[in-house]
Amino acid sequence: MHSVRWRPRTGTHLLVLDACVAGVVTAAYAALAGPGASDGLPRFSGPVWVGWLVAVCVGVPPAVRRLWPLPALTVVLGATAAATLLDITRDPYVSTALVLYTVALLVPAGRAAAALVLTLAVSAASVVTGEAVVTPSGPWPEAVGTAAFVWLVTGAAWAAGRAVRERRARVARRDRRLAEEALVEERLRIARELHDIVSHSLSVIVVKAAVANHVAEERPEETRDAIQAIERTGREALTEMRRALGVLRGDTAGQHTQNAGSAEMAPPPGLDDLPSLVRRAEQAGIRTRLHTRLTTGLPQGTALTVYRIVQEALTNVVKHAGDGTRCKVTITADPRGDVHIEVVDDGAGTTVVPDRAELGGGHGLVGMRERVMMYGGTLEAGPRPGGGFTVSARLPAEPAHGTAPGRRETTA
């Protein structure tokens, strides 16, 4: 586990608060160092300037404890020990406890523990020596009890600082873990989007290029049609790629530019773009039928997921089933509002390649599974008993706010 090095919090309000506390402690020690009524205990009777110097050295360091914790502790600990030996102090090392709390909070664990040991040793030695040897004010057990009370105060301050430090470290580790998970998820999302865009379009282009190469000399009309299909598919792929790159750059649909109709500003694909997806599959030789029956007003994220699942399923049909394959795309919603997607082909074109038989065989099916899992849905994909392949997905219902319920049925 990596230790966290905290930066001192030096906000204006915190520095002002520390300055106020330092002023109060300094004034209290200056009063104890001056002449006044005795409380029955030995009092300082030396030069006034010595008492004021000790008062300043005890009271001022807490004002800079967030900036220089260890130097502040060194000064305040030595001054407090001197105040104890000179019979000035009447508090259980409150100023030392304040600075020791900051040391435990900001200084690495090893040096903070050493600072605690030094503080306990110096405070106990000064209290016992001052109260039992230099100017005895009671028996030895009383001096030891006073030292124990000082230990309790300073130790509690140090423990509180360490507890706060550990809590902040846990929060920092949690935030760092969440940030890493978000980064991984964002990378997966980008990978899925780029795969869906590039894989589908390139599959159509490769198929049409193969057709053009095969019939180039015998049927030039078909060659021209294939080249036109390649051009259209390439332009559409560039449009979607620009849109994806626009999202990565931080562009949003709400921004208005002089080129408001550019591809970067276009909304992400959804249900209304399925017919064009079907037409591209037909251009690649897949006889495709689209049937939708679902509630209007799907959330944009759900609609994009439906589009991407159908896109990847059709891409697999184009790549693996071959020219002349019949494919049916069905999108429905059950009474609970769950969206069901089914893409079925008969595999009549060519033999289905083995890597379609398992869900983990390619990035496309893995991407579909990841998209469905994000919504808590299910995905089934595999060969059909009579030939062909089936992709079936279910997405749980999500509320679509601001839209009126209705039914929409289309067949392409």
Q: What type of residue is 258?
A: Q
The whole-number pLDDT of residue 299 equals 78
Q: Which two tokens stand for residue 319?
A: 């790549």
Q: Show me where the domains of the chain are located.
A: 12-179, 272-412
Q: What is the DSSP letter of 400?
A: -
Helix (H) or strand (E) holding 14: helix 12-33
72-89: per-residue pLDDT in tens? 999 998 888 888 888 777
Residue whose tokens read 């204006």:
12
Distances (CA, A) of 291 to 50, 275, 311, 322, 338: 95, 10, 15, 22, 16
Residues of the chain below pLDDT 70: 1-11, 33-46, 134-138, 192-200, 203, 243-267, 295-297, 348-364, 398-412
Q: What is the pLDDT of residues 245-296, one digit of tens each?
A: 665 665 444 444 444 444 444 567 788 888 888 888 887 788 899 998 876 6
CB contact set of 368 (below 8 Å; sequence gap of 6+): 308, 309, 312, 313, 379, 381, 391, 393
Tell me what pLDDT residue 196 has: 67
Paired with 390 in beta bridges are 344, 382
Give the pLDDT of residue 9.
Answer: 54
Backbone angles phi, psi at 392, to 5 degrees: -130, 130
pLDDT of residue 365: 76
Class of domain 272-412 as given by CATH: alpha beta
pLDDT reported for residue 264: 47
Give the DSSP letter string of 318-368. Answer: HHHT-TT-EEEEEEEE-TT--EEEEEEE---SSPPPGGGSSGGGSHHHHHH
**Integer Cα distance of 374 and 309 in angstroms:** 13
Length of the chain: 412
